[in-house]
Amino acid sequence: MTLTSDLTGRVALVTGGSRGIGEAIALRLAKAGAAVAVNYRERAADAERVAATIRTLGRKSLAVRADVSRSDSVVGMVRDVEAQLGAIDILVNNAGIALIRGLDDLTEADFDETIAVNLKSVFLCTRAVLPHMREQGWGRIVNISSGAARGAGGVGLHYNASKAGMEGMTRGYAARLVKQGITVNAIAPSLIETDMVRSGVASSPARIPLGRFGTPDEVAQVALMLVGNGYMTGQTVALSGGMAFN
Dist CA 22 CA 97 (whole Å): 13
* Secondary structure tally for the chain: helices H, strands E: 8, 7
Cα separation, 100 vs 218, in Å, equals 24
Concerning whether 159 is annotated as a catalytic residue, the answer is yes
* DSSP classification of residue 36: E
Among 40, 159, 173, 231, the active-site one is 159
Strands 90-93 and 139-144: parallel
Task: Please answer whether residues 134 and 102 qualify as being in contact, where contact means their C-beta atoms are separated by less than 8 angstroms.
Answer: no
Cα separation, 18 vs 212, whole angstroms: 24
Catalytic residues: 159
